[in-house]
Amino acid sequence: MELARRFFTNDHVMLVLVFINTGIIFISGFITRESIALLIIDSLFTLLFLVEALVKIRVRGFRTYWADGWNRFDFIIILLALPSCINLFGFAFPGTSVLLSLRTMRAFKSFRLLKFIPNIDSLLNGIRVAFRASFIVAIGLGVLLLIFSILTTFLFGIAAPQYFGNPAISVYSIFRLFTVEGWYEMPEAIAASSGAGMAVFARIFFSLLLFLGGIIGMSLVNGIFVDAMATDNNDEVLRKLSQIEKKLDEMGGTKEEHELHE
């Protein structure tokens, strides 16, 4: 029991097992025919990770275990992957789409590698700060996206239904334009099925929309996001420098007191 406890609570051992399991999942992606051996090995890894969670819960207690965010993340990933083990117990029905989709759930176990990234907590905290800082601008850009998706549906829905046939399609098309992804295809499609005047209007309209949403809007969101992450890191550096200065001041004060006593 002591050996099992030490084995399953050793993060370095678990990291090696996650890497091996991820390699197996990676290899299985190159095999077109179902490999029973790989399926059994992968299912055994899933059960092994489940035992890991149960051992940690028993050793640390459920409240202590669940209080750690990474433990919650691990447990959810294991639950997502658990249905893929159904074939291990003889319930294999080749060609059944439901079971095939269940087997894909095993790929979620690879996400466990995230917890082993150095300084991942600091990185995630920086991302959270950056999201909060850019949230208002992102909302504004989303409203702009919605407005123009409705407008383009009424303006170009007949001329280019593949891009603006309804507001839902238009949202995706305008989002592509904001990311500067194939934006020129849209005015060209409108020009191909419209008169010369509409063609000129469409090209000017989408050029201005690209500049407004794609260049200015997205650049603004990205700039605020990156600046917020950099600011968070700078705050940590300034805090450490402040601690060093405080210690130096204390050392200097101690030296002066020692000289006065002498």
**pLDDT tens, position by position, 64-113:** 989 888 788 888 888 877 777 766 665 554 443 444 444 455 556 667 67
Residues 127 and 38 in one domain: no
Check whether residue 163 and residue 78 sit in a common domain. no
User: Which of 77, 92, 116 marks a domain boundary?
Assistant: 116
Contacts of 106 (CB under 8 A, 6+ apart): 25, 42, 43, 46, 81, 84
Looking at the structure, do residues 136 and 110 belong to the same domain, yes or no?
no
Looking up residue 14, the CATH number of its domain turns out to be 1.20.120.350
Question: Does residue 42 surpass a pLDDT of 60?
Answer: yes
Rounded (to 5) percent helix, strand, coil in the chain: 85, 0, 15
**Quick one: 77 and 145 in the same domain?**
no
My answer on whether 104 and 147 are in the same domain is: no
Q: Which pair of tokens denotes residue 48?
A: 């092994």
Residue 216: the pLDDT is: 82
Among the listed residues 196, 195, 173, the one whose alpha carbon sits nearest the alpha carbon of residue 185: 173
Question: Where a domain ends, among 95, 116, 137?
Answer: 116
| Structural domains in the chain (count) | 2
Same domain assignment for residues 59 and 76: yes
Q: Which residue has the tokens 């849209």?
A: 186
The CATH number covering residue 181 comes to: 1.10.287.70
Residues 106, 135: one domain?
no
Give CA angle at 214 (230, 160), nearest 5°. Answer: 150
What does the block give as tokens for 129? 């700060």
- For residue 157, the 8-state DSSP code is T
Give the single-character DSSP code of 1.
Answer: -
Distance CA 213, CA 221 (A): 10
User: Is residue 29 helix, strand or coil?
Assistant: coil
Residues with Cβ within 8 Å of residue 58, at least 6 apart in sequence: none
Among the candidates 56, 82, 116, a domain finishes at 116
200 and 98 in a common domain: no
State the residue range of the domain holding 88: 2-116
Own/partner pairs, 161-167, CB within 8 angstroms, 24+ separation: 162/189, 163/189
More confident residue, 13 or 242: 13
Q: What angle do CA 180, 186, 188 make, to 5 degrees?
A: 120
100 lies in the same domain as 164: no
- Pick the more confident residue, 180 or 167: 167
According to the 3-state scheme, what is the secondary structure of 54-102? HHHHHHHCHHHHHHCHHHHHHHHHHHHHHHHHHHHHCCCCCCCHHHHHH
Which residue, among 160, 197, 57, 48, has the nearest Cα to 112 in the 3D structure?
A: 48
pLDDT greater than 80 at residue 260: no
Amino acid 252: pLDDT: 60
Q: Return the ∠ at Cα 21 (arms to 117 and 13), rounded to 5°.
A: 60
Q: Greater confidence, 136 or 248?
A: 136
Q: When comparing pLDDT for 140 and 262, which is higher?
A: 140
Q: Are residues 50 and 95 in the same domain?
A: yes
- Mean pLDDT comparison of 177-181, 186-190, 216-220, 236-240, highest-scoring range: 186-190
Q: Are residues 162 and 88 in the same domain?
A: no
126 & 255 share domain: yes
